[in-house]
Amino acid sequence: MPGTMTLKIITPERIVLEQEVDMVVARGIAGEFSVMPGHEPLVAALAIDVVRFSHNNEEQIAAVMGGLLEVRGSEVTVLSDVAELDQEIDVARATQAKDRAVAEQTQKTDKLETYMTEMAVSRALTRIKAVEIRQQRRRNRQV
C-alpha cells in the first residue's frame, strides 16, 4: 500500500508488533526523530523511551528499553531486549518496580550498582509513560 511502511518491533523472545504504519516517532540517544514513508536508510541507537506509531490517524505506543531502529526501504525494524505495547503493561507492577528502584538508589554507593538502579527507574518510568499516553488518548476521545 503506497504511503505506508511496515513496522516490526522484535525482542529475543518474540515479535511484539508487525503492522503497516504511516509514521514512527522514536527517541534516539541523540534526540527524537520521525520516520515517514520514503525515509532514507538509517540505523539509530534508541534511548529507553516510548516509540509512537500511527496508521490512519490512530496512534499507538510501545515502551522500548533501548535498542536499535533500522529503516530500509519501506520497512522500519526496532530491535530491543525488552519492548511492550502500551496495552500489555501492568501499571501497578511498573509503579512498584519504580518505587523499589528509587528506594534502592538511596542505598547504593558503588557506581555500577547506582547505574543499574538508575536504569531500572528509567525502564519503569517508560512503562508508566506509555500507559499515561494511552490513558490521555482515551480521555481526549471521550471529549
pLDDT in tens, 99-138: 887 777 777 677 888 777 788 888 888 888 888 887 787 7
- pLDDT score for 6: 97
Fold of 5-86: ATP Synthase; domain 1 (2.60.15)
User: Rounded to an integer, what distance in angstroms lies between the CA atom of residue 142 and that of residue 135?
Assistant: 11
> How confident is the model over 21-35, as pLDDT tens digits?
999 999 999 999 999
pTM, whole model, 2 decimals? 0.81
User: Rounded to an integer, what distance in angstroms lies between the CA atom of residue 76 and that of residue 125?
Assistant: 25
Domain-by-domain residue ranges, the chain? 5-86, 89-142
Contact by Cβ (8 Å): 59, 24? no
Across 5-14, 64-73, 131-140, least confident range: 131-140
- pLDDT score for 143: 66
- Residue 51: burial class (beta carbons within 10 Å; 0-12, 13-18, 19+): buried
Q: How far apart are the first and last CA of the chain?
A: 32
User: Rounded to an integer, what distance in angstroms lies between the CA atom of residue 87 and that of residue 71?
Assistant: 25
The domain 89-142 is classified under which CATH number: 2.40.160, 3.30.70, 1.10.287, 1.20.5? 1.20.5
Contact by Cβ (8 Å): 66, 48? yes
